Amino acid sequence: MKSNEWLGNLVSILFFAGLALAAWGLSEVLQRGGLGSPTAASGPNAIVESARIIRTDALGKPQYRLEAKRIAHYDDGDQSLFDQPVMVSLSPDKPVTIVKANQAVATNNQNQIDLSGDVRIDRAAFGAQPEARITTSKATLFVEEERAVTDAPVFVQRGFSTLQGVGMRFDQKTQKIDIISESRMVVPKESRK
């Protein structure tokens, strides 16, 4: 009986030693293979669903409102990813401008916003100027400078006139839209009564 107890104890000890060795080996493999515990750089630091943010100037006056279905912020690289962003200018001395896209990436202290997928910029009518709509596949907004640029094909509808080409510069301060190349403009004849 004593030899059977000794054999049972030895088997138990070997079994638990084998389990401990296997657990240690698995831990080493995962850590060396980069599959260990997640680091801060592997995911967002903050995620906000159905976000609505209002940015103000130094005096506390609203500059624009930003809404998005989802915002994920990453400290690594100081960037934010937006799903279905909508940005609305709130300056009382300028026409309302609404910018929409499927996705956006904000960098440079949220000052540079790279828009992609069905980018649309709508500017309300003001003074004698008719409303304008700019559509493109991608654009970059420079928030502090109040301008947008792209090197992609662009279609602009301003009142009843249309303008298309490749590449664009839009300055919100001056309300000037420049098409860089291959521009074609269609201006309908005014109907005479």
Same domain for 32 and 120, yes or no, is no
In angstroms, the CA 128 to CA 1 distance is 107
CA distances to 7, 21, 73, 151, 178 from 147, rounded to whole Å, are: 81, 62, 23, 14, 11
Alpha helices in the chain (DSSP H): 2-32
User: What pLDDT is recorded for position 53?
Assistant: 86
In angstroms, the CA 178 to CA 170 distance is 6
Domain containing 17: what range?
Answer: 1-37
* Nearest to 140, CA basis, from 119, 157, 123, 154: 119
From first to last of its 193 residues, the chain has per-residue pLDDT tens of 555 566 556 566 666 656 666 666 666 665 565 444 444 456 788 888 998 988 888 888 888 888 999 988 888 777 889 999 999 988 888 888 899 999 999 888 778 899 999 999 998 988 888 898 999 999 999 988 888 999 999 999 988 888 889 999 988 888 788 888 887 777 777 644 4
Q: In the chain, how many domains are there?
A: 2
Please check whether residue 89 is in contact with residue 62, taking contact to mean a CB–CB distance below 8 angstroms: no
Q: Is residue 22 part of a domain?
A: yes
Strand partners, 113: 106, 141
Q: Is residue 151 part of a domain?
A: yes
43: which DSSP letter? Answer: S
**pTM confidence score:** 0.70
Q: Is residue 193 part of a domain?
A: no
In angstroms, the CA 148 to CA 156 distance is 14
In tens, the pLDDT along 63-110 reads 888 899 998 888 877 788 999 999 998 888 888 889 999 999 988 877
Same domain for 67 and 150, yes or no, is yes
